[in-house]
């Protein structure tokens, strides 16, 4: 089993700042209820899947996640070293405590159209210096106390706002603890060609696997396995017809990590192998 080491500082008996060091590949499914998180990747790379989108992340990237469901798949590092992340947790009651019940206006609901569940934050010198200051306390944990935790939370919020040239973070702050609503088809079509399991898709919809399968059959009039397989093969045919990509690249782009399995499915559906199909187009 891969190692996972987590150290954190608490306030009101809840983790506020944490540092995780773990061995990839590693998969984490997280469901945030009345919680949001800021994450800075000290080292590592991952694909972060949300109900309606996917983000590719790497070393020095930082991002903000609001209430929602997330699947984060961390890839093996090229140098085989462990991945490291710094995390800050936001909770409504903790923010009220930190601001003595005088929550800044930026956290109050607005009429602006809600942003998606996650947003990258531009990494700049101000943010890097902030992360370095947190690292000092993880190396010297006895120096951290409740007042410093409150100070560092307020500082991070200000750093994010000062780095927010597009207004995206301010928009997310106004809706931080309210989950977005998604259409069932929107979730499915957003991840047709991703290497996600049916359990992951069910997780995004907030349904049990059995309920998810029943709803899928009602919506699409077929099973999820058959529908996804069919759509992936249709995309493969399109890529074979319109691109010069290698068969292995096409398989990967269509959500197949096993080229042998892809070739077997393709031949079963079209009575010809992918390579022979491509040759027939010349």
Closest CA to 206 of 78, 36, 32: 32
Asked if residue 208 and residue 102 are part of one domain, the reply reads no
SS3 content of the chain, % helix, strand, coil (to 5): 45, 20, 35
pLDDT of residue 98: 96
Asked if residue 125 and residue 35 are part of one domain, the reply reads yes
pLDDT of residue 1: 52
Residue finishing a domain among 125, 143, 173: 173
- Kindly report the CATH number assigned to the domain that includes residue 195: 1.10.10.60
What sign has the CA pseudo-torsion 13, 18, 23, 29?
positive
Q: Dihedral angle at the C-alpha atoms of 260, 265, 271, 276, nearest 10 degrees?
A: -40
Asked if residue 132 and residue 191 are part of one domain, the reply reads no
Count how many Cα atoms sit within 13 Å of the Cα of residue 28 in the half-sphere of its side chain: 15
Asked whether residue 135 is assigned to any structural domain, the reply reads yes
Asked if residue 20 and residue 150 are part of one domain, the reply reads yes
Asked if residue 258 and residue 151 are part of one domain, the reply reads no
CA distance 24 to 80: 8
Q: In terms of residue numbers, what domain contains 131?
A: 4-173
How many domains does the chain divide into?
Answer: 2
Query: What is the number of other CB atoms lying within 10 angstroms of the CB of residue 107?
Result: 18
For residue 91, what are the contacts with CB-CB under 8 A and spacing of at least 6?
Answer: 12, 14, 34, 35
Alpha helices in 59-113 (DSSP H): 92-98
For the stretch 70-89, pLDDT in tens is 999 999 999 999 999 999 99
- Tell me the mean pLDDT per 10 residues along the chain, length 282: 87 98 95 96 98 96 95 95 97 95 84 81 94 97 98 97 89 89 95 95 96 97 97 97 94 94 96 93 80
pLDDT of residue 165: 82
What pTM was computed for the model?
0.88
Asked whether residue 253 is assigned to any structural domain, the reply reads yes
CA distance 206 to 212: 9
121 touches 163 (CB < 8 A) = yes
pLDDT of residue 148: 98
Q: What is the DSSP letter of 167?
A: S
pLDDT of residue 114: 67
Asked if residue 190 and residue 166 are part of one domain, the reply reads no
pLDDT of residue 116: 86
222: its two tokens: 């077929």
For the stretch 218-267, pLDDT in tens is 999 999 999 999 999 999 999 999 999 999 999 999 999 899 999 999 99
pLDDT of residue 179: 84
DSSP-based three-state secondary structure for 97: helix
Asked if residue 20 and residue 116 are part of one domain, the reply reads yes
Asked if residue 240 and residue 117 are part of one domain, the reply reads no
- CA distance readout (Å), 265 to 270, 271, 273: 9, 10, 9
- CA distance readout (Å), 156 to 45, 153, 184, 242, 276: 23, 5, 35, 47, 56
36: its two tokens: 């949001």
């Amino acid at each position: 089993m891969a190692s996972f080491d987590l150290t954190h500082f608490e306030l009101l008996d809840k983790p506020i700042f944490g540092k995780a060091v773990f061995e990839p590949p590693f998969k984490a499914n997280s469901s945030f209820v009345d919680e949001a998180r800021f994450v800075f990747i000290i080292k590592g790379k991952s694909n972060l899947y949300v109900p309606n989108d996917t983000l590719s992340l790497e070393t020095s990237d930082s991002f903000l996640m609001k209430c929602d469901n997330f699947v984060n798949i961390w890839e093996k590092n090229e140098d085989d070293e462990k991945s490291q992340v710094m995390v800050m947790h936001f909770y409504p009651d903790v923010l009220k405590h930190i601001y003595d019940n005088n929550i800044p206006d930026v956290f109050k609901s607005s009429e602006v159209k809600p942003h998606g569940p996650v947003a990258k934050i531009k990494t700049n010198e101000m943010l890097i210096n902030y992360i370095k200051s947190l690292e000092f306390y993880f190396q010297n944990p006895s120096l951290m106390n409740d007042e410093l935790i409150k100070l560092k939370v307020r500082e991070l919020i200000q750093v994010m706002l000062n780095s927010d040239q597009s207004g995206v973070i301010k928009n997310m702050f106004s809706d931080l603890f309210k989950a977005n609503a998604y259409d069932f088809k929107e979730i499915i079509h957003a991840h047709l060609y991703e290497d996600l399991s049916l359990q992951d898709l069910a997780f995004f919809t907030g349904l049990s696997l059995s309920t998810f399968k029943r709803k899928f059959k009602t919506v699409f009039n077929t099973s999820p396995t058959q529908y996804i397989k069919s759509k992936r093969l249709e995309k493969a045919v399109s890529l074979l017809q319109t691109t010069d990509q290698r068969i292995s690249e096409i398989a990967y782009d269509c959500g197949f990590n096993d080229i042998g399995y892809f070739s077997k499915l393709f031949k079963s559906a079209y009575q010809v192998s992918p390579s022979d199909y491509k040759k027939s187009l010349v």
